[in-house]
């Protein structure tokens, strides 16, 4: 990984975080002693455990005594400049790796996606010697034969990136074993987002090594610099930018009007063939409005945050068929991804079609299966009142606590994970009204980036003839929320004309009236 290796002092000076229990001063004191001895070389090959072919992966190499993390010269890292104490730092490599280290005992961890097992081993490196450690990364479960393909729908690079973004884009998605990786053009005043240099559309030069790379857009509106306004949403598979990309305080001119609304931009994205994915656990004033107006194709849970389900469940309880999706937002530092089941051969078009149809599950570790009366995520099943057969399975290379079945937002069955890594459910559940069922994983464990381990399927939609499933309480909560948003817009938002203000408020009124009709129907 490069010809130049930093000195021990340079390495210690650049370490962003020490391992658990490590103390900075003793580590440096130890380094001064070790610097008098020639360094050794640790290198090896990286291969797929099933095919035995060279693969890209990410590695973490830690001094077994001090807990100090070591990186090669000019590494492509998982989280540039991170100072969080709970974050483990990895570097990416393709096929082989190499770095110079002081003599000692090292823990080496190799990770590739979430369909492979992580490999952790210990190795001794002698002074002035080369130690070869080849690693085969075992497959946990190959989902491709069943038609499931993974994607990250939400990624940006800021100018603080320490390496060439082209190098990162060529290496990181294949090392994460992503089948689809989507970058998003965005604007936050004059902030220098280096990923904005790529053209909108398929990035053919980077769509190699098994990953399709697409450049889309994140349309955004905040009420203050960091406050929630209309919200944020992604446009995938678009032929051009939908403008303005940001409105209000996020625009290049921070005095720009809060217009058009996001649902208006999403309608334009839909008109030109794009797919809209609402961001960040559904945050934003316009989320229920845009969903009611039919311009949201999928719903990103987590998205660089902890996964929060309440808003998603309320929308599902209002009768919407809304697929679950996810991404990482800044960099690809964790394992958030959406798995999509395609019909026929895997292409970007078939993957997008599967996403829109709701044949998905999302995860940062556990791999999920769900069947309700023989149907899977995204399907609709027509039943009579009575028991229905439900089965689910989760298997994971990361620990989790339990596998759960969720019916209309309530947990109705669960099973503890055996050995913390696998769980199964085979149950018959009573069905008395139309609604939805999904499988999810509950966990107290954390990922290497400090986020709670999660997984969630899109729903199977249950229809009972003549028996509605919409809940007046959830619809009524959205009525109240939209009315409050309209008061805020009238008082605080800027528009170029009263006609624009009327159009924006009219869209919110349409959303409010939609939910009011659901309440009245009860």
Dig out the tokens for 498 from the structure: 């009263």
Residue 11 pLDDT: 29
How far is 348 from 107, CA to CA, in rounded Å? 39
Q: At what angle do helices 472-492 and 310-317 cross, to 10 degrees?
A: 110
Strand partners, 245: none
Q: Assign residue 321 a region: left if phi > 0, alpha if psi is -120 to 50, beta otherwise?
A: beta
Instruction: Identify the helix (H) or strand (E) that includes residue 170.
Output: helix 165-175
Q: Does domain 364-469 have CATH number 2.60.40.10?
A: yes
Q: How many CB atoms lie within 10 A of CB 406?
A: 21
How far is 203 from 208, CA to CA, in rounded Å? 10
Closest CA to 302 of 361, 221, 382: 361
How far is 406 from 213, CA to CA, in rounded Å? 33
Respond yes or no on whether the N-terminal peptide bond of residue 87 is cis (omega within 30° of 0). no
Long-range contacts formed by 146-149: CB under 8 A, 24+ apart = 146/341, 147/341, 147/342, 147/343, 147/346, 148/339, 148/340, 148/341, 149/179, 149/180, 149/339, 149/340, 149/341, 149/342, 149/346, 149/351
Q: Do domains 8-137 and 364-469 have the same CATH topology?
A: yes
Phi and psi angles of residue 174, each rounded to the nearest 5 degrees, phi first: -65, -40
505 and 492 in contact (C-beta within 8 Å)?
no
Fold for domain 8-137?
Answer: Immunoglobulin-like (2.60.40)
Residue 74 pLDDT: 86
What is the number of alpha carbons within 13 Å of residue 75 lying toward its C-beta?
Answer: 27
Q: Assign residue 162 a region: left if phi > 0, alpha if psi is -120 to 50, beta otherwise?
A: alpha
How far is 140 from 114, CA to CA, in rounded Å? 8
Q: Are strands 246-248 and 324-325 parallel, antiparallel or unpaired?
A: unpaired
Q: How many CB atoms lie within 10 A of CB 404?
A: 20
480 and 495 in contact (C-beta within 8 Å)?
no
Q: Which residue is it, tokens 């994970």? A: 417
What are the sequence ranges of the domains in the chain?
8-137, 141-363, 364-469, 472-520
Strand partners, 148: 341
User: May I ask the CATH architecture of the domain 141-363?
Assistant: Alpha-Beta Barrel (3.20)
Strand (E) positions, 51-147? 56-63, 69-70, 91-94, 96-101, 104-111, 119-125, 130-132, 135-137
How far is 60 from 88, CA to CA, in rounded Å? 8
Residue 28 pLDDT: 35
Strand partners, 381: 462
pLDDT tens for each residue of the chain, 522 residues long: 333 333 322 322 332 332 222 222 233 333 444 457 899 999 999 999 999 999 999 999 999 999 999 999 889 988 766 667 778 889 999 999 999 999 999 999 999 999 999 999 999 999 999 999 999 999 999 999 999 999 999 999 887 777 889 999 999 999 999 999 999 999 999 988 999 999 999 999 999 889 999 999 999 999 998 888 999 999 999 999 999 999 999 999 989 999 999 999 999 999 999 999 999 999 999 999 999 999 999 999 999 899 999 999 999 999 999 999 999 998 898 999 999 999 999 999 999 999 999 999 999 999 999 999 999 999 999 999 999 999 999 999 999 999 999 999 999 999 999 999 999 999 999 999 999 999 999 999 999 888 999 999 999 999 998 888 878 899 999 999 999 999 999 999 999 999 999 999 999 999 999 999 999 986
Does the pTM surpass 0.95? The reply is no
Q: Quick one: the chain helix, strand, coil %, rounded to 5?
A: 25, 35, 45
How far is 480 from 55, CA to CA, in rounded Å? 52
How far is 303 from 31, CA to CA, in rounded Å? 39
**How buried is residue 224: exposed, middle or buried, by Cβ count under 10 Å (0-12/13-18/19+)?**
exposed
């Amino acid at each position: 990984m490069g010809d130049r290796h930093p000195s021990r002092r340079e390495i210690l000076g650049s370490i962003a975080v020490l391992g658990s229990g490590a103390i900075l001063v003793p580590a440096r004191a130890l380094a001064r002693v070790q610097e008098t001895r020639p360094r050794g070389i640790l290198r090896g090959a990286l291969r797929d455990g099933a095919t035995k072919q060279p693969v890209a992966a990410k590695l973490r190499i830690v001094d077994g005594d001090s807990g100090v993390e070591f990186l090669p010269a000019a590494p492509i890292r998982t989280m540039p400049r991170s100072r969080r104490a709970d974050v483990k730092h990895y570097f990416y490599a393709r096929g082989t790796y190499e770095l110079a280290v002081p003599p000692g005992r090292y823990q080496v961890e190799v990770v590739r996606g979430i369909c492979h097992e992580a490999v952790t081993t210990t190795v001794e490196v002698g002074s002035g010697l080369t130690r070869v450690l080849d690693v085969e990364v075992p497959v946990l479960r190959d989902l491709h034969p069943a038609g499931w393909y993974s994607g990250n729908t939400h990624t940006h690079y800021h100018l603080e990136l320490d390496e060439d973004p082209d190098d990162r884009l060529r290496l990181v998605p294949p090392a994460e074993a992503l089948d689809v990786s989507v970058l998003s053009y965005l604007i936050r005043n004059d902030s220098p987002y280096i990923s904005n240099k790529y053209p909108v559309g398929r990035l053919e030069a980077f769509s190699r090594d098994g990953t399709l790379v697409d450049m889309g857009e994140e349309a955004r509106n905040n009420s203050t610099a960091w406050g929630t306004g209309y919200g944020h949403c992604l446009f995938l598979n678009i032929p051009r930018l939908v403008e303005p990309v940001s409105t209000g305080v996020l625009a290049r001119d921070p005095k720009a009007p809060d217009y058009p609304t996001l649902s208006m931009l999403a309608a334009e994205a839909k008109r030109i063939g794009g797919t809209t994915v609402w961001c960040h656990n559904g945050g934003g004033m316009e989320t229920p409005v845009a969903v009611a107006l039919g311009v949201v194709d999928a719903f990103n849970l987590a998205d660089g945050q902890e996964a929060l389900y309440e808003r998603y469940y309320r929308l599902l309880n209002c009768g919407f068929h809304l697929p679950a999706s996810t991404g990482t937002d800044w960099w690809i530092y964790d394992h958030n991804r959406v798995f999509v089941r395609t019909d026929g051969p895997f292409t970007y078009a078939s993957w997008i079609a599967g996403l829109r149809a709701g044949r998905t599950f999302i995860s940062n570790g556990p791999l999920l299966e769900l069947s309700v009366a023989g149907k899977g995520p995204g399907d609709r099943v027509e039943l009579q009142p009575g028991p229905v057969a439900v089965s689910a399975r989760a298997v994971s290379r990361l620990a989790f606590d339990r596998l759960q079945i969720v019916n209309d937002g309530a947990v109705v069955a669960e099973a503890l994970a055996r050995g913390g890594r696998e769980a199964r459910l085979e149950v018959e559940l009573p069905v008395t009204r139309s609604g939805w069922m999904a499988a999810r994983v509950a966990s107290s464990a954390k990922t290497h980036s400090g986020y709670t381990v999660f997984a969630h399927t899109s729903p199977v939609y249950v229809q009972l003839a003549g028996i509605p499933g919409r809940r007046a309480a959830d619809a009524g909560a959205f009525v109240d929320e939209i009315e409050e948003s309209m008061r805020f817009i009238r008082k605080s938002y800027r528009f170029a004309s009263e006609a624009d203000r009327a159009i924006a408020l009219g869209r919110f009124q349409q959303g409010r009236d939609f939910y009011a009709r659901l309440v009245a129907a009860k």
